[in-house]
């Protein structure tokens, strides 16, 4: 039988000197008895996968609001694609694949309904401001509690990677840095795929210089970026791409913001106003009716305050739950 101790020893034998070794982890906020079979990073991954927040990602917007087609990405499929790209890079560089996977799967747990548009609404409503990476950390630290512990009690390396997967701060580990750039590689390319499928853009619209450098196909571009990143990061203490690939990836990202993310075909003004109205109405409803919050959140009001718990409740909703709840609370029902 291969035990946890065997796996920990194996890391020293096969991983790069730059890899995060689980035996050297900074540990958990609350010490726990070790698992006989799984390493701490493997346990973190499993806790994330089995959480309610992870399951809810299935019905949260990636780019297209409540898409009708079955083949459009959701926040869950985005997360899986980030994990696949990041694990490939980590494996090739001899870094810790378990840590990389745990960070990847947990990085977007705090995302709001209706994607970044929902995030903007909550940022305006909640006096403390709202950033999805900070909320993701709050999910794993506080909100995903059970009768045994508060939150998931994840290792410090996973928590750091989740918090710093976006923003200016560089994650502590190379594995966290991999997730940070894999997130961008994933969403730029799969959002192009969805935009092409929807007819919002055509292949001829894509910047020619970017296509010539990165590739003409979805898989070709990802392969180019991943290979370039591996070649430029091998046996180094920082994860990076070549200047050429990074420049053209950023140009492609700029193109997506201008032509897709801010495209009025994708997000019509009237639809965005509806999202704004739904989330504002729900937020105000729970401020005025705190007794209607779920029991577990109500119990935390004395510790964190009502507004924070209302923010947590709204952020945790799926798109369809928010719409259905708004309909139940504010739309008159016909008399039967």
Q: Spell out the SS3 assignment of the chain.
A: CCCHHHHHHHHHHHCCCCCCCHHHCCCECCCCCCCCCCCHHHHHHHHHHCCHHHHHHHHCECCCCCCCCCCCCEHHHHHHHHHHHHHHHHHHHCCCHHHHHHHHHHCCCCCCCCHHHHHHHHHHHCCCCCCHHHHHHHHHHHHCCCCCCCCCCCEHHHHHHHHCCCCCCCCCCHHHHHHHHHHHHHHHHHHHHHHHHHCCCCHHHCCHHHHHHHCCCHHHHHHHHHHHHHHHHCCCCCCCCCHHHHHHHHHHHHHHHHHHHCCCCCCCHHHHHHHHHHHHHHHHHHHHCHHHCCHHHHCCHHHHCHHHHHHHHHHHCCHHHHHHHHHHHHCCCCCC
Average pLDDT value over all residues in the chain: 95
Per-residue model confidence as pLDDT tens digits over 115-152: 999 999 999 999 999 999 999 999 999 999 887 889 99
Q: What is the pLDDT of residue 266?
A: 72
Confidence tier at 66 by pLDDT (50, 70, 90): low
Of residues 219 and 73, which shows the higher confidence score? 219
pLDDT at 305 over 70: yes
pLDDT at 336 over 70: no
pLDDT at 310 over 70: yes
Q: What is the mean pLDDT of residues 302-312?
A: 98
Determine the Cα angle at 30 with ends 28 and 34, to 5°. 65
Signed CA dihedral, 137, 50, 312, 62: sign only = positive
Q: What is the pLDDT of residue 70?
A: 74
pLDDT at 267 over 90: no
Q: What is the pLDDT of residue 333?
A: 83
- Of 128, 156, 93, 100, give the one whose Cα is nearest residue 304: 128
Confidence tier at 272 by pLDDT (50, 70, 90): confident
* Cα→Cα distances 107→36, 103, 133, 158, 165, Å: 27, 6, 7, 9, 7
pLDDT at 69 over 70: no
Determine the Cα angle at 217 with ends 212 and 222, to 5°. 90
Measure CA 220 to chain center: 24
Q: What is the pLDDT of residue 198?
A: 87
pLDDT at 264 over 90: no
Q: What is the mean pLDDT of residues 239-256?
A: 97
Confidence tier at 268 by pLDDT (50, 70, 90): confident
CB under 8 Å to 59, separation ≥6 — which residues? 74, 318, 319, 320, 321
- Of 73, 131, 77, 66, give the one whose Cα is nearest residue 105: 77
Which percentage of the chain shows pLDDT scores above 70?
Answer: 98
- Of 334, 332, 289, 336, give the one whose Cα is nearest residue 313: 289
Of residues 262 and 300, which shows the higher confidence score? 300
For residues 105 and 45, the answer to whether their CB atoms sit within 8 Å is yes
Per-residue model confidence as pLDDT tens digits over 172-215: 999 999 999 999 999 999 999 999 998 999 999 999 999 999 99
Signed CA dihedral, 93, 98, 101, 107: sign only = negative
Of residues 69 and 208, which shows the higher confidence score? 208
For residues 232 and 242, the answer to whether their CB atoms sit within 8 Å is yes
For residues 62 and 72, the answer to whether their CB atoms sit within 8 Å is yes
Residue 5 CA neighbour count, 13 Å, CB half: 2
pLDDT at 334 over 80: no
Q: What is the pLDDT of residue 68?
A: 61
Q: What is the pLDDT of residue 67?
A: 58
Greatest alpha-carbon span in the chain = 71
Signed CA dihedral, 197, 272, 62, 120: sign only = positive
């Amino acid at each position: 039988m291969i035990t946890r101790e065997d796996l920990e020893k194996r890391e020293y034998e096969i991983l790069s000197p730059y890899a995060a070794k689980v035996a050297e982890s900074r540990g958990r906020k609350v010490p726990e008895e070790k698992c006989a079979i799984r390493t701490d990073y493997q346990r973190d991954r499993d806790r994330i996968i089995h959480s309610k927040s992870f399951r809810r990602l299935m019905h949260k917007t990636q780019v297209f609001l409540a898409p009708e087609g079955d083949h459009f990405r959701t926040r869950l499929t985005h997360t899986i694609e980030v994990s696949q790209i990041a694990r490939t890079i980590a494996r090739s560089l001899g870094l810790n694949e378990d840590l990389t996977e745990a960070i990847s799967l947990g990085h977007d747990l705090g995302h709001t309904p209706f994607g970044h548009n929902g995030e903007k609404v909550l940022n305006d409503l909640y006096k403390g401001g709202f950033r999805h990476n900070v909320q993701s950390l709050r999910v794993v630290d506080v909100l995903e509690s059970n009768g045994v512990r508060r939150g998931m009690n994840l290792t410090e390396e996973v928590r750091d990677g989740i918090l710093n997967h976006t923003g200016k701060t560089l994650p502590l580990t190379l594995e966290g840095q991999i997730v940070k750039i894999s997130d961008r590689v994933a969403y730029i390319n799969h959002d192009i795929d969805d935009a092409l499928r929807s007819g919002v853009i055509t292949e001829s619209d894509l910047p020619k210089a970017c296509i010539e450098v990165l590739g003409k196909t979805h898989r070709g571009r990802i392969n180019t970026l991943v290979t370039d990143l591996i070649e430029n990061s091998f046996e180094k203490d920082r994860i990076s791409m070549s200047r050429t690939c990074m420049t053209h990836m950023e140009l492609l990202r700029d193109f997506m913001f201008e032509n897709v993310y801010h495209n009025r075909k994708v997000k019509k003004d009237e639809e965005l106003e509806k999202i704004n109205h739904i989330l504002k109405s729900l937020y105000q409803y729970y401020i005025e009716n705190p007794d209607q919050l779920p029991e577990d959140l109500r119990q935390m009001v004395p510790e964190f305050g009502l507004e924070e718990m209302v923010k947590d409740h709204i952020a945790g909703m799926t798109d369809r739950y928010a719409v259905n709840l708004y309909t139940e609370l504010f739309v008159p029902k016909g008399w039967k």
